[in-house]
Amino acid sequence: MIQQSTTRQERDGAPDTAALMRALAAYIERNATQPLPLAHLAAQAHLSPAHLQRTFKAHLGVSPKAFHDAARFALLKRGLRDGKKVIDAITDAGFESTSRVYGSTTRSLGMTPSTYRDGGAGETITHAFRDTAFGPLLLAATDRGVCFAQFGADEAALVAQLQSEFPRAVLGGFPGREAPELEAWIESLEAHLAGTAARPSIPLDLRGTTFQIRVWKFLLGVPEGAVMSYGEVARGIGSPRAIRATASACSANRVAVLVPCHRVLRADGKLGGYRWGIVRKRTLIARERARAALSAEHGTGRTRPAGCAR
């Protein structure tokens, strides 16, 4: 049984519900390689299956089954990165068949398991670097769109970070005439960071869990100059109690500014965390509010939300 002091209360909002769901999530992670049907998890939590399904999703943002799958995929990714054969990594992660893995790869790995094992081998990722008003920035894209836009200490550190995520992909530096789109994208983003242009509309290649992508897509629709709380975002995606999971999705965002997680604040209105530093977050919000106010003053209306996920 889960090592969590609980009552048998099954009403939403019970004081110990959040702790119970966290304990159940930890139990799933510890036993990810084992079959974990809903009835078994419900017995562990002393809840009915229907109530567990509803409560777990409200607090974690995904169903127990989806969370179990994600935990298995984490094991699979670890095994592939350690150089295991694909079939061995799949079996060791607890999957009953390869079809279950290959049917979910675009959601969970962004590529097939063999390609992931090979560190993105076969994928071409082109990157460009700029020393922007917000500091060193590396923008990287596949043929589907931008998959990486991050600030860091310098170009070498940022390229190393990109390489660690796709260790055997074909990484190309700024190719000039061979990829005019990338040149246009980084120049438009650089202009935005300098405060001379709105956030550009750039195609995105977002890679994450189903829940993370729901959060990121929702954020693409938050207009410039507006801010929301983590709770408001959770309600906006239809998971009102998944506030903690929403915050985690924001912190996992690999695409700075273009996916505007800086527009999400704490419930008390304070800035909260930001992967690329509070100073950047504060400055981004201030500039966007000023630009939105100027736009309204001149009657040009709101800036169209940027970006699209493919």
| CATH number for 160 | 3.30.160.70
Domain presence at residue 14: no
Domain presence at residue 31: no
Domain presence at residue 305: yes
Same domain, 193 and 220: no
Same domain, 109 and 132: no
Domain that holds residue 157: 124-197
- Residues 149-188 have pLDDT tens digits of 999 999 999 999 998 877 777 887 655 445 667 888 899 8
| Mean pLDDT along residues 292-301 | 71
Global pTM value: 0.62
The C-alpha atoms of residue 51 and residue 92 are separated, in whole angstroms, by 31
Same domain, 173 and 105: no
Q: Six-digit token pair at 36?
A: 């974990």
Question: Which of 70-75's residues contact partners 24+ apart within 8 Å by CB, and which partners?
Answer: 70/108, 70/209, 71/28, 71/29, 71/32, 72/32, 72/33, 73/104, 73/108, 73/109, 74/32, 75/32, 75/33
Same domain, 219 and 161: no
Domain boundary among 117, 145, 180: 117
| Mean pLDDT along residues 122-145 | 89
Q: Six-digit token pair at 147?
A: 């998959």
Whether residue 261 lies in the annotated active site = yes
Q: Six-digit token pair at 256?
A: 């700075």
Tally of domains in the chain: 3
Find the angle CA(183)-CA(300)-CA(261) to the nearest 5 degrees.
55
Domain boundary among 75, 100, 117: 117
Domain presence at residue 137: yes
- pLDDT level of residue 89 (50, 70, 90 thresholds): confident
Domain presence at residue 35: no
Q: How far is CA 70 from the centre of its chain?
A: 13
Tell me 255's DSSP state: B
Same domain, 223 and 277: yes
Same domain, 140 and 187: yes
- pLDDT level of residue 263 (50, 70, 90 thresholds): very high
The C-alpha atoms of residue 180 and residue 122 are separated, in whole angstroms, by 22
- Residues 190-230 have pLDDT tens digits of 988 988 877 888 888 887 877 888 999 999 999 888 999 99
pLDDT of 107 > 50? The answer is: no
Residues 6+ apart with CB under 8 A from 90: 76, 98, 101, 113
b/e 103-139 (16+ beta carbons within 10 angstroms → b)? ebbebbbbbebebbbbbbeebebbbbbbebebbbbbb
